[in-house]
Amino acid sequence: MGLDRIINVEDMHQLAKKRLPKIAFDFIEGGVEDEHGLDRNESAYRRHNLVPRYMVDVSEINQKTTLFGREYDSPFGISPTGAAALFRPGADLMLAAAARDANIPFIMSGASTASIEELAEVAPDHGWYQMYTAKDKSISEDMIRRADAAGLSTLVVTVDVPVRPRRERNLRNGFTRPLKLTLATRLDALCHPGWLIRYLKNGTPLISNWKQYAPKGASADDIATFVTQQTAATLTWSDIEKFRKLWPRKFVLKGIMHPQDALRAAELGVDGIMISNHGARQLDRAPAPLDVLPAIQAEVGDRMTLMMDGGIRRGADIVTAFALGVEFIFMGRPTLYGAAAAGQAGASHVIGILRNEIETNMRQMGCTSLEQLPEFLMWDDPDDLRRNKN
C-alpha cells in the first residue's frame, strides 16, 4: 500500500501492523495488565462535543503555536518512544528529521537507539531530550551535562516509572531481558521478511545514550538489562530539585497526573509539565490525562505550561484538548506507526494528516485560531450559553 492511500492515522496503524511481526507490533500497541487504560485514553476525547459557529470567514486558519518562546507550525509534537529502531533501523533520527521538516518539537527517548549528540546534529532547534533517571545519580547528572553541551533547548524528566510494569503482551511474546522468543514468535518473524532482513543486518538495537555507563564490552542486550536495573524506584523530589539547578534552560516533568504533584513542581521552578499516564503503559487503572487536566489547570494553570499526551488519533482530538485548556499536545504511537511502516516519509505523512485534520475541523467550526477554541466547547447546561453569547 502506497502512502497516497493512507488517509488517516488508523490506515497507518494497519499498515504498520501488516509490516511488523507480532513481537514488534505488540511492543508499540500494548498497554499493561488488562489494557483498559488504552481505551480510556482514546475515549476521553470522544466524550466532548464541539459546537460550530457559521457565517464566519474561515479563509485563513492559524494553527501556529508558541511554546517556551519558540513558534511551531502546529500545536503538537512527537513524544518520546523507546526502542524505535526495533521497528525500523534509524527510526529515532527519522522521527527527529520529520519533526524538524514540519517545524514541530521532537522528544528523544531516554531509551533511544540514537544518541543525544546525533539528535543535536539532525534537529538542533527542534530536539528535546527525555531522561530516565538512574540509581547512580552521577549517570543522570552526566546525561544532563551532555544534553546541555549539545545545546538542546529542553530537558524532560520522566517521573512515572517507579517499577517495571507487567506488559503482558511482551511476556507472552518472550520480549523480556534476555529475550525468550517462543517458536510461534520466530515463525511469525519469518512471515515478515522485510523486517527480518533489516533486523538480521542491524542486530538488536543498542540503547546508545547508556552505552558509556554500562560495563566495558557489554552487548546490546547487556546494556538493555543494565538500563532496566538502573531505572528503578529511586527518584524523589530532592532529585528533581537538583536536576532543576543543573539544567540551564527549559525543564519539564513528564508523567504528572495529580494536582498536588503539579503544584510541587511549580514551587521547584519547573517550566512545564506533561500530563501523561505513559500511554497507558504503567498503571492500568490510571485516569486518562484529559480527565485530570481540569483539576491540574485549576491548581497551576497560571504558573507553568501545561502539555499532555496519550490517546491522540485524530486532529479533532488535538482540537478538543485545546478547547479544554491544554497548551500543547504530544503524541507517540501515530508517528511511530508511520516510521515503522514507511520510515521518515511515513512519519511526515502522519504529521501532515493531523495538521490537515486540525485545519479542516477549525474551518468547519468557524474557528480561526487556537486561542478561540474554548468558546466552541459544548456547554454543560443548555441554559448556560454565556461563553457563546457573541
DSSP per residue, 98-142: HHHHHT--EEE-TT-SS-HHHHHHH-TTTEEEEEPPPSSHHHHHH
Measured at the alpha carbon of residue 190, what is the angle toward residues 197 and 177, in degrees to the nearest 5?
Answer: 80
Closest by CA to 314, choosing from 273, 358, 378, 276, is 358
pLDDT of residue 1: 67
Stretch 182-187: mean pLDDT:
81
Q: What letter would DSSP give residue 378?
A: P
Q: What is the pLDDT of residues 128-170, one digit of tens each?
A: 999 999 999 999 999 999 999 999 999 999 999 988 888 999 8
Q: What is the pLDDT of residues 95-131, one digit of tens each?
A: 999 999 999 999 999 999 999 999 999 999 999 999 9
**Mean model confidence pLDDT for the chain:** 93
Closest by CA to 123, choosing from 98, 148, 142, 145, is 98
Range from 46-50, 180-184, 187-191, 207-211 carrying the lowest mean pLDDT: 180-184
Is the bond preceding residue 178 a cis peptide, omega within 30 degrees? yes
Q: Is the confidence at residue 231, as pLDDT, over 80?
A: no
pLDDT of residue 389: 56
| Helix H or strand E segment including 307 | strand 305-309
CA distance 126 to 61: 23
Q: Is the confidence at residue 271, as pLDDT, over 90?
A: yes
Candidate list 13, 126, 192, 278, residue with the active-site label: 278
Closest by CA to 111, choosing from 22, 228, 278, 239, is 228
The letter for the amino acid at 240 is: I
Torsions phi, psi for 254 (to 5 deg): -110, 130
Neighbour tally for 34: CB within 10 Å: 10
Confidence class for position 206, pLDDT limits 50, 70, 90: confident
CA distance 341 to 154: 29
Closest by CA to 106, choosing from 84, 87, 88, is 84
Residue whose grid cell is 507550525: 73
Catalytic residue flag (residue 258): no
Query: Beta strands 127-131 and 106-108: pairing type?
Result: parallel
Q: How far is CA 304 from CA 229, 251, 271, 363, in A?
A: 33, 11, 6, 30
Q: Determine what percent of the chain is predicted with pLDDT higher than 70.
A: 96
Confidence class for position 386, pLDDT limits 50, 70, 90: low
Stretch 209-214: mean pLDDT:
92
Higher pLDDT, 295 or 184: 295
Q: Taking a C-beta distance cutoff of 8 angstroms, is the pair 88, 340 a contact?
A: yes
CA distance 207 to 230: 13
pLDDT of residue 384: 59
Show the cell assigned to 277: 499516564
Residues written for the chain: 390
Q: What is the pLDDT of residues 307-327, one digit of tens each?
A: 999 999 999 999 999 999 999
Q: Taking a C-beta distance cutoff of 8 angstroms, is the pair 357, 314 a contact?
A: yes
